[in-house]
Each structure stands twice: as C-alpha cells, then as structure tokens.
Amino acid sequence: MRIAPALAVTVVSLLAAGVARAEAENEPDSTGYQNAAKRRSDFTFGVGGGLALGRANGYPNEIQKIRDSAYESNTKLGLGNSSLVWLGVAFNDYLTFGLAFGGLSLAGNDREASAGLFGFHIDAYPLASYGKNLRDLGLFTNLGTGPLKIKGAPEQADGGLIAYVEGGAVYERWRLWRIGFGPTISVVHLWSDSAQATAALFGARLAFYGGP
C-alpha cells in the first residue's frame, strides 16, 4: 500500500521544521545568551487516548493461507479506541523525544482487531516562538512495532510483529503548572505480510514537563 510511505514522508517533512527550530533555539544569540525554554524542558511523560475509526483485515500467519479469501478476517468500517503512554526528554520548547507504549482496537463485522505498540514518540512545536495562541500547537509521530490480531472468524488472523506509523497534530490548549492538556487528531497505519489496519484517531492527551 502507498499510504505508509506517503504518511512517513509527510511526518518527516513536518517534524523537520521542529528540529530546525530546536537547533536554532540552542544556538547563542548575538548577545552571547542562550535562549531559555519557556514551556518544555527536562524529563517528560504523557498519556493519551481516544476514539478510533477505521478498518483492519488479515489472515492466519501461515504462508498457504495468506491472501486466501477463504481465511480472511475483515472488520470493514469499525469503531474502537486507542491509548498511548510515553516517557522521554523535552530538549526545549520545540522538540521532545521518548519511548512509547500503547494499543489500538477496532470492532466491526463481528470481528475484533487489537494491536500493541512498542516504539518511539516524537513531538515538534515549530511555532513555539509565535505567541500564546500558536506556541502549543504541535505535530507528533509514533513509530514502532507490535502485535496485531483479529478475532471472530473460525481462524484468528495474526499479523505477527507489524510495522506501526502514526502522524498527527496536538494542541495543548490548557496548562496547569507544568502539565499541558488538549485535543489530538491523527492517522495510524499498521502492516505486515499477513495483516494491516488503518484508522483515524480523535482524542486528547496530558503531558508533564520537568521544566522550566
């Protein structure tokens, strides 16, 4: 499928803006002072989740059954939920990086798909220096692997260890001390030789920052 490469290219391009801003942030200005973080720095961890709308299909993880329609499990358009926990480092106002753990579920057509995620979480805030209405508008991606299974058919579909890529936007609109909270929207795609899933995610997240 072409959606995975296209999504990956889009995410990388968008995050590059945040990385560039982060590098500029760490360079001393003409007066010799280094710009100080105002919103994010030090240790960070967060939790997020929400509604999932999408489709998953797959086959038993046996060579002779893969892509055989007699063994296919398909949720068609299904509803479910997603969850994510991450911990890592906020380098400055523009860029955070961490390890992520989470899951995704979809149910439809008498089938239930469930997936796990073990990988990396990256946030970029390329507009962090453009005032209070834009400084907490960010882009994020989750990249990794995990299991994907689809239950409900006579034989369970099994994706084995799938590739997982998610890209989206976050707006940490509300702030209490060092805790930011706000809505998120994203698209996730999971795939392997024997199973795949694509979903739009609508939710919210809460993130804690150790500084400033």
pLDDT tens by residue, 11-28: 555 555 555 555 544 554
- Provide the domain count of the chain: 1
Residue 163 lies in a domain: no
Domain that holds residue 200: 3-24+39-156+175-211
Task: Determine the pLDDT at residue 74.
Answer: 97
For residue 35 the two structure tokens come to 């710009």
Please enumerate in sequence order all residues whose Cβ is within 8 A of that of 39, keeping only pairs 6 or more positions apart, or say none: 93, 125, 128, 135, 136, 180, 209, 212
Residue 30 lies in a domain: no
pLDDT tens digits, one per residue of 87-98: 999 999 999 999
Which pairs with CB-CB distance under 8 Å and at least 24 residues apart come from 22-29?
A: 22/91, 22/92, 22/94, 22/95, 22/124, 25/92, 25/93, 25/94, 26/91, 26/92
pLDDT tens digits, one per residue of 86-127: 999 999 999 999 999 999 999 999 999 999 999 999 999 999
Percent of the chain at pLDDT > 70 equals: 83
pTM over 0.75: yes
Q: In which residue are the tokens 């469930």 written?
A: 114
Residue 64 lies in a domain: yes
Residue 189 lies in a domain: yes
Q: Rounded distance, CA 72 to CA 187, Å? A: 24
Residue 166 lies in a domain: no
Residue 49 lies in a domain: yes
Residue 100 lies in a domain: yes
Task: Determine the pLDDT at residue 36.
Answer: 78
Residue 132 lies in a domain: yes
pLDDT tens digits, one per residue of 26-71: 554 443 334 678 889 999 999 999 999 999 999 999 999 999 999 9
